[in-house]
Each structure stands twice: as structure tokens, then as C-alpha cells.
Amino acid sequence: MRHKPSASHRSLRVADQIQRDVAELIRELKDPRIGIVTIHAVDVTPDYAHAKIAFSVLTGDPHEAEVALNQAAGFVRNGLFKRLTIHTVPTLHFKFDPTTERAAELNALIQRANATRAQDD
């Protein structure tokens, strides 16, 4: 007898699949404002109506990328319709996630502090 997977487990699987597919689909976008983008997380509402997509940028302006991605959200969502096997494909909401940039800044500060301490010793 097979057990149905829990709703939260299915939601995580769907979010994971959306993350992979969105990452592939945004590579097809020709908008120069987007640059090189990394998708960090996808949070899907329980009814699959909306998905918040957290991203960071390797190149380009994060705020311009956010505007461009949200403008292209309909195109990306259409691509998801062809890839996902769920009844409702969520409306996509892209949000810049500064966590990676903050981590890099903190790492640089720590390295500078360690270098200064080494010179003082």
C-alpha cells in the first residue's frame, strides 16, 4: 500500500522543480538588464497561485534585474506551463536577495581585519 506524500513535501518538490526550470528559462531572456542571475529559493503558496523567487546577481544592477525579471515573469510562466505537470502554474514574483552580497562584504571585512591584525603583530 502506497502512502500519499504530504502536501508540504509535494510543495517542496514543486518549488524545487520551479527553481530549476526558472533558472533555465531566464537564460533564454535577451534583456541586457538581467545579467547573470542565480535563483536561490522559491516559495510557493499552498494553493500554487503564487511563487516568490529569490535571486542574486553576479553581474548587473540588482534593481534593474528585478524590474526586468518581473516584466518577463509572464514569459517565464508560459515556459513553466510546458514543463510542469501541475494544474496551476503559479504567478511569479521575483525579489532580489542581498544575502550573497552581504556575505561577500562580511567576508572581505573579516579578511581585512585579519590582515590588519597580522600587520600589527
Confidence band for 90, pLDDT divided at 50, 70 and 90: very high
pLDDT at 6 (0 to 100): 64
What is the pTM for the complete model shown?
0.78
Q: What is the pLDDT of residue 1?
A: 44
Q: What is the mean pLDDT of residues 38-46?
A: 94
> Can you give the pLDDT at residue 75?
95
Phi-psi region of 48 (alpha: psi -120 to 50; beta: other; left: phi over 0): left
Query: How high does pLDDT run on average in the chain?
Result: 89
pLDDT of residue 76: 97
Over residues 62-78, mean pLDDT: 96
What's the longest Cα–Cα distance across the chain?
Answer: 69
Give the residue-averaged pLDDT of 57-66: 92
Predicted local distance difference test score (pLDDT) of residue 5 = 53
**Which one, of 59, 69, 60, 56, lies nearest residue 99 by Cα?**
56
Q: Which domains does the chain have, with CATH numbers?
A: 7-120 (3.30.300.20)
pLDDT at 85: 82
Q: Mean pLDDT, to the nearest integer, of 40-52?
A: 94
Beta bridge partners of 56: 38
Return left, alpha or beta for 23; rule: phi > 0 is left, psi -120 to 50 is alpha, else beta: alpha
